[in-house]
Structure 1
Amino acid sequence: MAPRLGARLAALLVPAALLLPGAAHAEKVVTEDSVGDVVTLADESTDLEDAVPAPSHGGVDVVRTSVAHGANRLRLTVSFRALERDPFQFTVFRVSTPKGQVDVLVERLGGKPISSIDRRGTTVECGGLRSKVDRGADTLTTSLPTSCLDAPRWVQVGVGAVGIAADVASPELAAIYADDAHRDGTVRDALAKGPKVRRG
């Protein structure tokens, strides 16, 4: 191809390429959590003030959270130190938006994760809500259409993980383990929130 013809084609194609629709963009924010900051409720206590450190329990130990807020979907990924293999585990995503707050709940009871959305005590229908576990990467990923959240301009997400370890011989001696992804070594009734993530 003659150099002059190549230059003319490039001059025509570059502006045309700029007119093509770009790939869907999502703002993504990753936050880190301390390793070994799990707590447990000892002696059948239900008071979070009585929680004691349980640094050796890795099954609910959140080490990283990723929030990707796109125009059409919100994708939430939690990385654990060592995700429970035979779980009785719950993960809560508390999603705050300019219009209010919802809880996205993910239950792992040994099979496929079960997801639901709760708004002020009422279950919200959300087609397209999905959760999956990657045991090789020790991650739990949940995604949902932003329309289920009224397409907010921004979100703030708190993440909490709770696991129950039962003694097969003495089920009444079950221990509860918990981690707040945005607190170091403490758990409260209200989850701590991550930074605002604006719609991409």
Structure 2
Amino acid sequence: MHTTVTRTALGLLAAVLLTAGLSAPASAERYIHHDPAHDVRKVSVMSMGNDGFVRAPHRKQGDYVKVKIWHQVRAVRVVGKFRRLDRVGQGLIQIVSIRTPDGSERTFQVFAGPGMWKGVDSDEAGENCVVGHHVNYRRDRFSMRISRSCLDRPRWVKVGVGFITLNRRDLTADDAQLRKVRNDLTYSPRLGHA
């Protein structure tokens, strides 16, 4: 009977350790941030300096409410959820900036606008770093996947996410992880890959 209890206890301990071991990397690779609504900033095209930004809480277009970031085995994936995302103005730019342990920082962009509302990435010919993007106007979402091979397959990444809406007179911007717009994006915590 003592042997049966010991085997049962060892079996339970092994199950707990396996469960803990499997869940730890999954939680380290994904980050979700809820961004406050009504924190969009705008600047006149004529005064394009950081000091020219003013609050534009009435602007729903391009106003992040949530961002999800995954550091996966083959790609870094980002999904932004907005209060509103429509085919309006001169265009939309989704910006993803990634920092890696070696101190490098790379920025990737997808532009959507008149005649190309599905979006076009900023990859140079033959680079193929943005391995996928999707602009979903019906669900107010914008997603991008960036290949880890373009980042030299780092142990961890920190990711900054921003959105710009272009109009004739002004542009509006929202940092997915900060209440105000500044020159640099706000970065996520370090995210290891699975």
TM-score by length of 2: 0.77
Please say if residues 115 and 129 of structure 1, whose CA atoms lie closer than 8 Å, have aligned partners that are also in contact: no
* Equivalent in the alignment of 1:7: none
Structure 2: state its 5+ residue gaps: 1-21
CA distance in 2, matches of 1:117, 1:131: 12
- Confirm whether residue 103 of structure 1 aligns to residue 107 of structure 2: yes
- Confirm whether residue 194 of structure 1 aligns to residue 188 of structure 2: yes
* Equivalent in the alignment of 1:94: 97
- Confirm whether residue 180 of structure 1 aligns to residue 175 of structure 2: yes
| Percent identity between the two aligned chains | 27
Quick one: which amino acid aligns to residue 188 of structure 1?
A: R
Q: How does 1:37-116 map to 2 (within 5 A)?
A: 37-42=39-44, 44-87=46-89, 88-99=91-102, 100-110=104-114, 111=116, 112-116=118-122
C-alpha distance after superposition, 1:159-200 (max 9, x if no partner): 11111123xxxxxxx12111111211x211111111111111
Paired residues, what number? 166
Between Structure 1 and Structure 2, whose CA radius of gyration is higher? 1
Please say if residues 116 and 124 of structure 1, whose CA atoms lie closer than 8 Å, have aligned partners that are also in contact: no
Q: Give the number of the structure whose residues are more often helix, by fraction.
A: 2
CA distance in 2, matches of 1:127, 1:190: 22
CA distance in 2, matches of 1:43, 1:165: 9
User: Residues 51 and 128 from structure 1, CA distance in 2 versus in 1: closer, same or farther, beyond 3 angstroms?
Assistant: closer
CA distance in 2, matches of 1:63, 1:80: 5
Quick one: which amino acid aligns to residue 86 of structure 2?
A: E
Structure 1: state its 5+ residue gaps: 1-21, 167-173
1:117: Cα distance to partner?
A: 4.6
**SS of 1:147's equivalent?**
helix
Stretches of 4+ aligned residues off by more than 2 angstroms:
84-87
Please say if residues 102 and 117 of structure 1, whose CA atoms lie closer than 8 Å, have aligned partners that are also in contact: no
Q: How does 1:95-174 map to 2 (within 5 A)?
A: 95-99=98-102, 100-110=104-114, 111=116, 112-117=118-123, 125-126=127-128, 129-166=131-168, 174=169
User: Residues 43 and 77 from structure 1, CA distance in 2 versus in 1: closer, same or farther, beyond 3 angstroms?
Assistant: closer
CA distance in 1, matches of 2:70, 2:57: 29
* Equivalent in the alignment of 1:3: none
Which one is further off, 98-107 or 108-117?
108-117
Computed over aligned residues only, the root mean square deviation of the Cα atoms, in angstroms, reads 2.3
Please say if residues 87 and 113 of structure 2, whose CA atoms lie closer than 8 Å, have aligned partners that are also in contact: no
